[in-house]
Chain A
Amino acid sequence: GQQVQQSPASLVLQEGENAELQCNFSTSLNSMQWFYQRPGGSLVSLFYNPSGTKHSGRLTSTTVIKERRSSLHISSSQTTDSGTYLCAWSNYNVLYFGSGTKLTVEP
């Protein structure tokens, strides 16, 4: 089956520090997405990023599709950034999710 490795599993930061989340995939697929999972469970799409680098506020996503990896960088972290971040590789109509990174930002 499809394998998605996401790291780290958990991360604790002090407010203001930067975070780097990694996602690797075992086979070639066509795109990837990063999500934030709300405490209630619903997903917020952060980036749809087939390749290259995309920015959104303090968030940056970089995908190198031929190397089957993607990263999510959070700069100047805030306590409100705390939660679970999921990467997912896309095979056109379906997504294969990583196991998530639980981020805790302490004041």
Chain B
Amino acid sequence: GALVYQYPRRTICKSGTSMRMECQAVGFQATSVAWYRQSPQKTFELIALSTVNSAIKYEQNFTQEKFPISHPNLSFSSMTVLNAYLEDRGLYLCGARGRNYAEQFFGPGTRLTVL
């Protein structure tokens, strides 16, 4: 079956520092990976979409300078939260889609706490 793993599951960082999170697809080739954030008491917002062989597309209010993403192969993606502040805390999910699947598969998320 198609599975998506995320590391770490929880992390704490000091305000102004950076934190990298990873997303791994198992059992399928992740031709696209989308990153989402759920801030406290809110729903999920799309941060960016990474499609193999295409430029990464960021949504309004999110930038490459703040959330650089790497998608080097069809099973792995990572995103870094640079210079994290309180407003960056929340649950970060990656959703991966493969060629032979119509739906996205989600990892369990990385919960970021900023002190």
Q: Are B46 and A98 in contact (CB under 8 A)?
A: no
Bin the interface of chain A by size.
20 to 34
Binds B, one of A41-49, A52-60, A74-82: A41-49
A98 CA / B43 CA spacing, docked (Å): 7
Binds B, one of A12-20, A61-69, A86-94: A86-94
The total of Cβ contacts below 8 Å across the A-B interface reads: 54
Number of residues on chain B facing chain A (CB within 8 A): 25
Say what secondary structure dominates the interface of chain A: strand
Given A94-B49, A99-B43, verify A43-B103 contact (CB < 8 Å): no
Known: A33-B104, A97-B44. 15 other contacts (CB 8 A): A43-B93, A43-B106, A45-B105, A45-B106, A86-B43, A92-B97, A93-B51, A93-B97, A94-B34, A94-B46, A94-B95, A95-B36, A95-B44, A95-B46, A97-B43
